[in-house]
Structure 1
Amino acid sequence: MINDYASASKDFNPIHLDEEFAEKSQFKKRIAHGMLTLSIIMEYLYKYYSEDWFKNSNFEGRFKNPVYSEEKIRIFHEENSIEGIGKNIKILCMNESGEEVVSASFTTE
């Protein structure tokens, strides 16, 4: 998936593609592109909210830890209604070790 994303995005940074380079980095292993991780979150949101999630919404995301090559992430969300505004949805992504890798939220009408 990482190699496919690199080709599609033209982001060939060796931290994503070169194991030897990554071993010498602060991460010690190849990491996924941040935007690849966000695109997985977007797909998840589309499955739950169809296109409603991006209509008139405000999305904010924060990278907490790297997502390593071949690592699986779990995505959780919590929905709260805000009277007179709409819904606030909080998203949490965790890696296989239970560490938070991305947190995000969006508010929609």
Structure 2
Amino acid sequence: MYKQRTFSELKIGMKESMTKKITKELIGKFAEITDDYNPVHVDEEYAKDTMFGKNIAHGMLSAGLISAVLGTKLPGPGNLYMSQELKFRAPVFIDDVITAWAEIIELNEEKHRVKLATWCENQDGKIVIEGTGMVYFDK
């Protein structure tokens, strides 16, 4: 399920991803965990009158997939998330299939910090989130 690496194994340009289908049930669970019951996410009647015309997933639900990539694949277990910049580019709808990506763009060996380009794209290849993250990796 996860990839264990050491800092010395990390290289600029390394890239990993994971894919997940965003279901109505996942959106409901995310709302329950976070107490974010914004009706644009959970109320079909309300969402019909929004600019999207239907429910959209919480942006942080998709962003959470980036965290999963960092924690399980690149750099993997043992890192501490220090920061994340996100730009939400497009909505995620029920039944969209989202792929979260992370690519190493900078390594600071002295401080054991890894900077990564991060993004999520839907099943059509459209970028829905993009940004950069920084982790501390002491393995």
- Structure 1, 45-54 or 11-20: larger mean CA deviation: 45-54
Unpaired runs of at least 5, structure 2: 1-25
CA distance in 2, matches of 1:15, 1:24: 9
Task: Give the percent of matched residue pairs that are identical in Structure 1 and Structure 2.
Answer: 28
Q: Which residue of 1 aligns with 2:133?
A: 106
Gap change, CA 1:47 and 1:25, over 3 Å in 2: same
- How many residues in Structure 1 have an aligned counterpart in Structure 2? 107
CA distance in 1, matches of 2:101, 2:68: 13
CA distance in 2, matches of 1:15, 1:93: 21
Matched, 1:97 2:120: no
CA distance in 2, matches of 1:51, 1:13: 34
- Tell me the secondary structure at the aligned position of residue 50 of structure 1: coil
Larger RCO (CA within 8 A; separation ≥ 6): 2
Q: Which residue of 2 aligns with 1:88?
A: 115
TM-score, normalised via structure 2 length: 0.67
1:23-82 Cα deviation digits (max 9, x unpaired): 21101121111222222221121112223151xx33211111111122111122221334
Picking from 43, 62, 65, the partner of 1:40 is 65
Unpaired runs of at least 5, structure 1: none
Structure with more helix by fraction:
1
Q: Which residue of 1 aligns with 2:19?
A: none
1:73-94 Cα deviation digits (max 9, x unpaired): 1122221334566432101210
Picking from 24, 37, 42, the partner of 2:49 is 24
CA distance in 2, matches of 1:52, 1:14: 35
Deviation for aligned residue 1:13 = 1.3
